[in-house]
Amino acid sequence: AYITAHKAAVKAEVDALRMGQSVGLARAAAESPRAAGAPAPAPPVPTAKRPRQGTWTVAEKRSFLKLLAQHGMEWDKVSASLKGAKNPAQCAAYFENNRIKAGLDNVLEERA
Write the pLDDT tens digit of every residue in 68-88: 999 999 999 999 999 878 999
What's the length of the chain? 112
What's the whole-number mean pLDDT along residues 30-58?
67
pLDDT tier at 59, thresholds 50, 70, 90: very high
What's the whole-number mean pLDDT along residues 54-63?
90
pTM of the model: 0.52
Other CB atoms closer than 10 Å to residue 73's CB: what's the count? 13
Residue 48 near residue 69 (C-beta atoms within 8 A): no
What's the whole-number mean pLDDT along residues 6-17?
73
Cα dihedral: 57, 60, 54, 87 (round 10): -160
